[in-house]
């Protein structure tokens, strides 16, 4: 663990600007040193603010973060049989639309979604953020990216000790 970490009750904030990623806004890749925070359980909250774009309101934008391993909740995949067990997913939450004239922007604040519970700090230094549409797809299998005109965004992850 990084020697700068001293307080296990401290809240940790990570800010991801899609302009600084290695791919596209709908599939952003970042390298993160998660060792700046203790390895302990956290509630993860997020906020998201995107540029004005032309994404239409017929899509349901959802966000997935690959390096947040240890999620202790599960969701039902729409492709599974009704009596099958839920699968682990890296689904973080849903994004919301607002409109400026004929254009829209996508956002979420810390109160729009329930916090995710993670059993420890992330261990994968490569953090992949996918913004997809209309489906909860575990582990990025077959997710549908939002339209190419998603625009740039800032995603803030807030880790609050559980």
4 within a domain of the structure (yes/no): no
DSSP state of 142: T
CATH of the domain at 108: 2.60.120
Look at the pTM and tell me if it is higher than 0.85. Answer: no
Tens of pLDDT, residue by residue over 92-104, are: 888 888 887 777 8
Q: Is 79 left (phi over 0), alpha (psi -120 to 50) or beta?
A: alpha
Q: In which domain, by residue range, is 61 found?
A: 12-161
Question: Over the Cα atoms of the chain, what is R_g?
Answer: 16
> What is the number of domains present in the chain?
1
6 within a domain of the structure (yes/no): no
114 within a domain of the structure (yes/no): yes
Tens of pLDDT, residue by residue over 54-84, are: 666 667 788 888 877 555 554 545 555 555 5
CA nearest neighbour of 117 among 161, 87, 155, 65: 161
30 within a domain of the structure (yes/no): yes
38 within a domain of the structure (yes/no): yes
2 within a domain of the structure (yes/no): no
């Amino acid at each position: 663990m990084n020697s700068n970490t001293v307080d296990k009750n401290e809240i940790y904030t990570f800010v991801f600007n899609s302009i600084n990623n290695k791919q596209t806004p709908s599939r952003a890749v970042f390298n993160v040193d998660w060792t700046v925070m203790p390895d302990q359980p956290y509630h993860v909250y997020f906020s998201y603010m995107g540029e004005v774009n032309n994404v239409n309101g017929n899509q349901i934008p959802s966000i997935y973060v690959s390096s947040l391993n240890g999620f202790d909740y599960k969701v039902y995949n729409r492709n599974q049989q009704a009596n099958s067990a839920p699968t682990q997913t890296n689904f973080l939450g849903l994004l919301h639309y607002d409109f400026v004239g004929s254009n829209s922007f996508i956002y979420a604040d810390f109160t729009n979604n329930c916090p995710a519970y993670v059993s420890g700090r992330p261990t994968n230094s490569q953090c992949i953020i996918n913004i997809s549409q209309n489906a909860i797809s575990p582990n990025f299998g077959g997710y549908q990216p939002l339209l190419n005109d998603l625009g740039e965004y800032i995603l803030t992850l807030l880790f609050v000790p559980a």
